[in-house]
Amino acid sequence: MITIRNGRLYRRYDSELLCIEPWGPDSFRVRATERAGFLNDDTRQALLPAAPVPFDVREEEDGTYRLTNGGISCEISPSGTLTFRDASGKVLLAEYERMRDMQGEGHKRFNSALEIRPRTFVSIPGTDNYRLAVRFEPADGEKIFGLGQYQQPYLDMKGCTLELAHRNSQASVPFALSSLGYGFLWNNPAIGRVTFGKNMTAWEADSTKEMDYWIGAGQTPADILHRYTAVTGRVPMMPEYGLGFWQCKLRYQTQEELLDVAREYHRRGIPVDVIVADFFHWPHQGDWKFDPEFWPDPAAMVNELEAMGTKLMVSVWPTVDGDSENYPAMKEGGMLMRSERGLRLGQLSGAAIADMTNPEARAFVWDKLKKNYYEDGARIFWLDEAEPEINGEPGRGGYEYDHYRYFAGADLEIGNLYPREYARMTYDGMTEEGQENIVNLLRCAWAGSARYGALVWSGDIDSSFASLRNQLAAGLSMGLAGIPWWTTDIGGFHGGNINDPAFKELFARWFAFGCFCPVMRLHGFREPVRLSVNASRGGFPVTGAGNEIWSYGPEIEEICKAYLALREKLRPYTRQIMAAAHEAGDPVIRPLFYGFPEDQTAWNVEDEYLYGPDILVAPVLTAGARERKVYLPAGTRWVSLWDGTVFEGGQAVTAPAPLAQIPVFVREGSPVRKLLP
């Protein structure tokens, strides 16, 4: 039975209720459930409220219903199978159905004994939830991009199976951008998986109450991303201190050590926009304050840094020790994540985790951050452990998603919301204080995180060329998933001896890549490891070797200084790119096809990228390389940054790549050329 009310089309057949409604121009939101009705809980979905959009509904002679919203239409067959087409009638996406043509069921595209429906709800006994699978037909030659951050070198996700779950260095942002001209958001925070197979595409949720997705059409990848980010939210305008260089290491153990590093950069005339007080500057996890033994006067520290033109960023963890002064109140108030079995204080090492899906917990934690950091002048927070990195039972490893429960529901059902709500905690508090252009660093994100000022970094990755290659794919995929603010630990996080020539080479290559990342941020746990400053409290963790640009010897320091000077020259251009991310949702770094969709070769290039519309970067991703091939997109001419040589687009060239330089080209005629050497 088909009914239309309140600007939506509803179809009821047996146990399933289907709802299709326009959600922005050239877009639909599609929901289905086998419950009595749909959830009325906006916190569980990524979409912002949408203004009503007029759409056309027609019933065909064969019983098919066709809904049209601008450049996209949705056909509902008599059996309930959905097909989406663009304005020309080309199929964008069609549900996968293999059913017998039984009497009374109407026309089927396939007559099959397999009995596979496109939408499958399998009830979980004794609950109101289902295991959900939604299947779509494959399309020959289709390429799939986006999906967030996965530690793999692939940009095109066709042929991949991806876990829809967060881990340290993995951020599931379930938006797929198709080369066929559509974008698809799996608007469901449940733990699950997606397979972009040769025989079908399948989206799955392990425990959920309903199907919910958004699909939008566009002429170009930019059109699609603009529509998607309009309905999920865009980043604020990046503040000026996000355009330069951020200095960090694991970890500055004392206030004086951090200040000495900032003073030395200042003495050398090297601008540092942000410097970071990393973890365990606190007495206990969950105190959310500086340990006065090692950080005696935070306000004075902030003031001295400000005088040097440097902002302080403070690390925040959601972990709460049993010895923390805040643990009793948070436990009593129901503000901690719960374990289904075992001890709560084992959720991450020996600590519990603050439940950021609980509005009271968010308010409680922000109140501590405001009192102990914000009122002393800190305006940037590093929201670490944003997945969060939950432990499993002893001997079984981590990330047992069936083991945890939040205020908003079971981890299996809503767990992917956590990083978004974590970002929301500080964003709402800082907004209430009147701060604008908010940016906070997180280790994870979900769809909609961008609107809360989330700058995502790629987690605790290893220090290797293979890892560097993965970060290039991760950063580009995050941008295409609607998270344009992204960064990586320059040099990687785990390992890297500052005296090792092989690591110095890697570090130089990574630093060059960092110069052309949305945020240029140096971090890592370097070797040789240094002893801790104290045997207890916040001073007990060890620290890494020096991680300042002079820590790697004179040759590497000079290379770093050159790239830092280049980043400063790029500041006006970077500001323009950030404005485009804020206003339209464009990625800061983007694949070649984003800027040149008519160039078919550009769709196949996965080891180069565009920094904004006019700068092409070809990072060196293998040890020992001193040249590399670079494809220059057709439709313009390209100028080498280093020697001014002009090349026609639409060809591959072999570019020199000495250790001090990576291949960089500027679109001929671009105003940015005047800013550069």
Upstream peptide bond of 251 is cis (omega within 30 degrees of 0): yes
Confidence of residue 522 (pLDDT cuts 50, 70, 90): very high
First and final C-alpha spacing in the chain: 67
pTM over 0.95: yes
Q: Is residue 337 domain-shared with residue 458, that is, in the same domain? A: yes
What's residue 246's pLDDT? 98
Q: Give per-residue pLDDT as tens, 611-628.
A: 999 999 999 999 999 999
Residue 103 has pLDDT above 50, yes or no: no
CATH code for position 381: 3.20.20.80
Place of tokens 């404005």: 579
CATH code for position 59: 2.60.40.1760
Q: Which of 460, 489, 548, 607 is catalytic?
A: 460
- Domain end, chosen from 584, 613, 640, is at 584
Q: Give the torsion sign (CA, 668, 673, 676, 677).
A: positive
Q: Is residue 52 part of a domain?
A: yes
- Domain end, chosen from 156, 185, 217, is at 217
Q: Is residue 121 part of a domain?
A: yes
CA 432 to each of CA 162, 232, 370, 457: distance values in angstroms, whole numbers, following the listed order: 38, 22, 11, 26
Q: Is residue 192 domain-shared with residue 252, that is, in the same domain? A: no
415 near 446, Cβ under 8 Å?
no
Strands 311-316 and 380-383 come out as parallel
Range of 147's domain? 2-217
Q: Which of 387, 389, 489, 599 is catalytic?
A: 387
Q: Is residue 58 domain-shared with residue 111, that is, in the same domain? A: yes
Query: How is residue 182 written in tokens?
Result: 């559509």
Count the domains in the chain: 3
What's the rounded Cα separation, in Å, for the pair 663 and 656? 7
Confidence of residue 565 (pLDDT cuts 50, 70, 90): very high
Q: Is residue 201 domain-shared with residue 314, that is, in the same domain? A: no
Q: Is residue 579 domain-shared with residue 595, that is, in the same domain? A: no
What's residue 52's pLDDT? 87
Q: Is residue 228 part of a domain?
A: no
What's residue 535's pLDDT? 75
| DSSP string over 169-185 | TBEEEEEEEETTSEEEE
Residue 643 gets which letter from DSSP?
Answer: T
Q: Is residue 257 part of a domain?
A: yes
Place of tokens 């392990």: 206
What's residue 675's pLDDT? 82
Helices 554-569 and 571-584 cross at an angle (nearest 10°) of: 60
Helices 571-584 and 221-232 cross at an angle (nearest 10°) of: 70
Residue 104 has pLDDT above 60, yes or no: no
Q: Is residue 64 domain-shared with residue 172, that is, in the same domain? A: yes
What's residue 190's pLDDT? 98
Section 194-205 average pLDDT: 98
Q: Is residue 521 domain-shared with residue 555, that is, in the same domain? A: yes
Q: Kindly report the length of the chain.
A: 677
Residue 329: partners with Cβ closer than 8 Å, 6 or more residues away: 335, 364
Query: How is residue 479 written in tokens?
Result: 């941008």
| Chain centre distance of CA 387 | 11
For residue 460, indicate whether it is catalytic: yes
Section 180-195 average pLDDT: 98
What's residue 106's pLDDT? 43
Query: How is residue 659 written in tokens?
Result: 């250790």
43 near 88, Cβ under 8 Å?
no
For residue 212, indicate whether it is catalytic: no
The b-or-e profile of 455-476 (16+ CB within 10 A means b, else e) is: bbbbbbbebbbebbbbbbbbbb
Strands 409-410 and 440-442 come out as unpaired
Closest C-alpha among 328, 338, 346 to residue 287: 328
Strands 16-22 and 8-13 come out as antiparallel
What's the rounded Cα separation, in Å, for the pair 209 and 132? 9
Percent of the chain with pLDDT over 70: 98
Of all helices (H) and strands (E), which one includes residue 349? none
The total of other beta-carbon atoms located within 10 Å of residue 30's CB is 21
259 near 474, Cβ under 8 Å?
no
Q: Which of 21, 95, 355, 384 is catalytic?
A: 384
The b-or-e profile of 659-672 (16+ CB within 10 A means b, else e) is: bebbbbbbbeebeb
| Chain centre distance of CA 125 | 34
Residue 53: partners with Cβ closer than 8 Å, 6 or more residues away: 7, 22, 23, 24, 25, 69
What's residue 354's pLDDT? 98
Q: Is residue 225 part of a domain?
A: no
Place of tokens 């002679």: 61
Q: Is residue 231 part of a domain?
A: no
Q: Is residue 433 domain-shared with residue 497, that is, in the same domain? A: yes
Q: Give per-residue pLDDT as tens, 573-603.
A: 999 999 999 999 999 999 999 999 999 999 9
- Domain end, chosen from 569, 584, 599, is at 584
The total of other beta-carbon atoms located within 10 Å of residue 46's CB is 28
Q: Coil, helix or strand for 301?
A: helix
What's the rounded Cα separation, in Å, for the pair 74 and 331? 49
Phi/psi of residue 120, each to 5°?
Answer: -120, 120
Query: How is residue 254 written in tokens?
Result: 């004392």
Q: Is residue 377 domain-shared with residue 482, that is, in the same domain? A: yes
For residue 41, indicate whether it is catalytic: no
Q: Is residue 370 domain-shared with residue 444, that is, in the same domain? A: yes
Residue 105 has pLDDT above 50, yes or no: no
Residue 285 gets which letter from DSSP?
Answer: T
Residue 186 carries which side chain, given as an amino acid letter?
W
Q: Give per-residue pLDDT as tens, 337-390.
A: 999 888 788 888 889 999 999 999 999 999 999 999 999 999 999 999 999 998
Percent of the chain with pLDDT over 90: 90
What's residue 540's pLDDT? 84
Q: Is residue 335 part of a domain?
A: yes
Q: Is residue 567 part of a domain?
A: yes
Residue 472 carries which side chain, given as an amino acid letter?
L
CATH code for position 640: 2.60.40.1180
| Chain centre distance of CA 607 | 19
Residue 624 gets which letter from DSSP?
Answer: T
381 near 429, Cβ under 8 Å?
no
Residue 316 has pLDDT above 90, yes or no: yes
Residue 93 has pLDDT above 90, yes or no: yes
Q: Coil, helix or strand for 412?
A: helix
CA 366 to each of CA 279, 360, 375: distance values in angstroms, whole numbers, following the listed order: 17, 10, 12
What's residue 107's pLDDT? 45
What's residue 394's pLDDT? 58
What's the rounded Cα separation, in Å, for the pair 82 and 72? 13
Section 306-319 average pLDDT: 98
What's residue 398's pLDDT? 75
Residue 473: partners with Cβ closer than 8 Å, 6 or more residues away: 150, 152, 153, 154, 155, 606
Q: Is residue 595 domain-shared with residue 569, that is, in the same domain? A: no
What's the rounded Cα separation, in Å, for the pair 129 and 121? 9
Q: Give per-residue pLDDT as tens, 525-560.
A: 999 999 888 877 778 889 999 999 999 999 999 999
Q: Is residue 275 domain-shared with residue 392, that is, in the same domain? A: yes
